[in-house]
């Protein structure tokens, strides 16, 4: 139990040539045939494991974390489907943490590279030592993280809408506040509709994923969780764009919050998997499950 906040973790998945295909591969009908093997490998060595390879600089919290739940490629190293997971203290010899990358959006989230050069861990640190367990657990984690993304970007959409409300009440154009112009009212109404539908859909999916998680039937909620992320991030981008347009030229300056919200919304379309890849994985999931509703 970490009552003092001493443990700061990260979840390194993405590699230089493996991004969204890690996500798709978990729901691909024959994952053992999907793509090349992962570049970060773990091999048994006596009473422990040896890890080699590098995770790309898109690993959130990598520059400042002190522990990682590391996704590795297990023997026989045939494809990315040979997936495992282990705890790695980032203070171990052979671990290198890269500096934070300079990004357009989500700059509050430090992301950087992690490299492993003959890093040795004891056997009990390997929590997912068989690929079948790794694939099962990864689906559960994806469901949870996609729900988190949906919540975060629904909140971003709401913030962008509220910034538009505030600005259009204060900004005078044509002798009266912007909000008194009917064309502005129509734009605000469209933004309100988008925010509320994203909020409702996200809440329904959260309840569904929570029920499936308690029953350990993650595969029955993956498609819904991924779809919630795709929908919420798309809505966040659309609403942030509309809000920035209502701000006029001021929306391009750092004097107004919408400039940051728009950059963050842009990053959301690719964070934790590109939306096109997430949609494809959702299709694989619901076609395999035969479940199309949360009922």
* DSSP string across 16-49: TTBSHHHHHHTTSSSGGGSSSPPSSEEEEETTEE
pLDDT tens figures, 194-236 = 999 999 999 999 999 998 877 767 666 888 999 999 999 999 9
Q: What percent of the chain has pLDDT over 90?
A: 69
* Domains of the chain: total: 2
pLDDT tens figures, 53-96 = 999 999 999 999 999 999 999 999 988 888 899 999 999 999 99
3-class state of residue 205 by DSSP: helix
Residues 141 and 283 both lie in one domain: yes
> Measured between alpha carbons, how far is 198 from 261 in angstroms, rounded to an integer?
17
144 lies in which domain range? 133-289
Residues 116 and 140 both lie in one domain: no
pLDDT confidence band for 33 (50 / 70 / 90)? low
* pTM of full prediction above 0.75: yes
| 8 Å CB contact between 96 and 114 | yes
| 8 Å CB contact between 204 and 295 | no
pLDDT of 187 > 80? The answer is: yes
Establish if 1 belongs to a structural domain.
no
Q: Of the candidates 111, 129, 147, which is a domain's last residue? A: 129
pLDDT tens figures, 129-183 = 988 766 767 777 888 899 999 999 999 999 999 999 999 999 999 999 999 999 9
Most confident of 20-34, 104-118, 126-140: 104-118
Establish if 182 belongs to a structural domain.
yes
Cα 119 to the center of its chain, rounded Å: 27
CATH number of the domain residue 213 falls in:
1.20.140.10
> Measured between alpha carbons, how far is 250 from 85 in angstroms, rounded to an integer?
47
3-class state of residue 246 by DSSP: helix
CATH number of the domain residue 66 falls in:
2.40.110.10
Mean of the pLDDT values across residues 281-294? 75
């Amino acid at each position: 139990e970490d009552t003092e906040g001493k443990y700061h973790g990260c979840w390194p998945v993405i590699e230089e040539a493996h991004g969204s295909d890690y996500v798709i591969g978990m729901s691909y009908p024959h994952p053992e045939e999907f793509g090349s093997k992962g570049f970060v490998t773990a091999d048994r060595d006596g009473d422990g494991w040896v890890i080699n390879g590098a995770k790309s600089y898109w690993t959130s919290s990598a520059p400042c974390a002190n522990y990682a739940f590391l996704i590795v490629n297990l023997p026989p190293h045939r494809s990315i489907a040979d997936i495992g997971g282990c705890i790695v203290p980032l203070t171990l010899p052979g671990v290198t943490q890269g500096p934070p990358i300079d990004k357009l959006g989500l700059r509050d989230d430090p992301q950087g590279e992690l490299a492993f050069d003959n890093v040795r861990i004891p056997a009990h640190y390997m929590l997912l030592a068989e690929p079948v367990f790794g694939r099962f657990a990864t689906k559960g984690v994806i469901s949870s993280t996609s729900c988190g993304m949906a919540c975060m970007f629904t909140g971003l959409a709401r913030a962008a809408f509220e910034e538009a409300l505030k600005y259009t009440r204060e900004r005078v154009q044509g002798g009266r506040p912007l909000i008194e112009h009917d064309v502005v009212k129509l734009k605000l109404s469209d933004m309100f509709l988008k925010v509320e539908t994203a909020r409702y859909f996200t809440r329904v999916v959260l309840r569904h994923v929570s029920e499936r998680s308690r029953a350990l039937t993650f595969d029955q909620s993956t498609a819904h969780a991924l779809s919630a992320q795709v929908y919420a991030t798309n809505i966040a981008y659309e609403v942030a764009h509309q809000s920035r347009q209502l701000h006029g030229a001021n929306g391009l300056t750092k004097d107004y919050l919408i400039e940051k919200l728009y950059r963050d919304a842009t990053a959301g379309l690719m964070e934790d998997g590109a939306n096109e890849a997430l949609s494809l994985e959702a299709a694989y999931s619901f076609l395999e499950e035969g479940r199309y509703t949360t009922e």
